[in-house]
Chain A
Amino acid sequence: MALEGDRYGMKLTVNDLDIENLEYFRHCSEHNFHLQKCTKDGLLRYPPTTACPWCTNPESEWVPVEGKGTIHSYTEIHHAIQPAFKGRTPYMLLVVDLDTQKGQPTEHEALRVVGNLTTPDGELAPPDMVKKVGIGTRVRMVFQDVGEGLSLPMWTIDETAQQPEKPWRYPQE
Chain B
Amino acid sequence: MTPNSDMDVSTPRSMRDQFAIVGVGETTYTRGSGRSTRALGTWAIRNAMEDAGLGPDDIDGMLSYSNNDSTPATFMAGDLGIRLNFFMDCYGGGSSTEALIGMATGVIAAGMCKTVVIFRAMNGFSQVRIGGTGARSAVPVDGDNLHSRAYGWQSAGQMFAPSFLRHMYDYGTTPEQVAMVKVVHSEHASNNPKALYKKRLTVDDVLSSRMICKPLHLLDCCVETDNATAIIVTSIDRARDCKHRPAIIRSIAGRVCKPRADMHYQAGPISTVAGHYAKDILWPNAGVGPEDIDVTGAYDAFTFTTMLQLEDYGFCKKGEGGQYVSDGTTRLGGKRPNNTSGGHLCEGYTHGMNMVIENVRQLRGDVDDSCPIGPDGKRQHTYDYREGGCRQVKDVELTANLGWANPGTGSAMVMMRG
Contact = CB atoms under 8 A, between A and B. Distances in A.
A77 B152 contact: yes
A46 B174 CA distance: 32
B141 A15 contact: no
Nearest to A82: B137
B143 A18 contact: yes
B203 to A, nearest CB: 12
Interface of B: 131-133, 137-138, 140-144, 146-155, 158, 161-163, 165-166, 168-169, 174-175, 207, 210-215, 259-260, 262-263, 265-270
B150 A10 contact: yes
Interface stretch (A62-70, A105-113, A157-165): A105-113
A55 B269 CA distance: 21
Given A77-B158, A108-B269, 9 more contacts: A13-B143, A45-B266, A53-B260, A72-B270, A73-B163, A91-B152, A93-B152, A112-B265, A116-B152
A154 B163 CA distance: 20
B143 A77 contact: no
Interface in A55-96: 72-85, 88, 91, 93, 95
Which of A74, A76, A79, A171 has the most chain B CB atoms closer than 10 A to its own CB?
A79
B138 A83 contact: yes
Nearest to B138: A83
Contacts, number: 141
B161 A75 contact: yes
Contact of B268 (A76, A88, A108): A108
A169 to B, nearest CB: 8
A49 interface: yes
B132 A135 contact: no
B204 to A, nearest CB: 12
A10 B169 CA distance: 33
Nearest to B208: A172
A47 B263 contact: yes
Contacts of B212: 77-79
B287 to A, nearest CB: 31
B148 A110 contact: no
A122 B124 CA distance: 36
Contacts of B133: 81
B147 to A, nearest CB: 4
Contacts of A112: 263, 265-266, 270
A80 B215 CA distance: 14
B131 A73 contact: no
B147 A114 contact: yes
A76 B142 contact: no
Contacts of B138: 82-83
B162 A78 contact: no
A171 B169 contact: no
Contacts of B166: 72-73, 135
Interface string A15-36: 1001001000100000000000
Interface residues of A, number: 48
Interface of A: 7, 10-15, 18, 21, 25, 45-47, 49, 53, 72-85, 88, 91, 93, 95, 108-112, 114-116, 135, 146, 152, 168, 170-172
A171 B132 CA distance: 27
Contacts of A114: 147-148, 151, 153, 265
B86 to A, nearest CB: 34
B67 to A, nearest CB: 15
Given A72-B166, A95-B162, A170-B214, A13 B142 contact: yes
A114 to B, nearest CB: 6
A171 B158 contact: no
A103 to B, nearest CB: 10
Given A83-B137, A170-B214, A75 B144 contact: no
8 contacts: A47-B144, A47-B262, A53-B266, A78-B213, A112-B266, A114-B265, A152-B151, A171-B174
Contacts of B259: 53
A171 B175 CA distance: 8
Contacts of B146: 12, 14, 21, 25, 152
A74 B165 contact: yes
Contacts of B132: 81
A172 B176 CA distance: 10
Given A93-B151, A114-B147, A172-B175, A78 B214 contact: yes
Given A21-B143, A77-B158, A110-B268, A84 B262 contact: no
A78 B133 CA distance: 14
A115 B141 contact: no
B343 to A, nearest CB: 22
A91 B158 CA distance: 11
A15 B267 CA distance: 28
A110 B207 CA distance: 33
Nearest to B268: A108
Contacts of B265: 95, 112, 114
B266 A109 contact: yes
Contacts of A53: 259-260, 262, 266
B33 to A, nearest CB: 22
Contact of A95 (B131, B137, B269, B270): B270
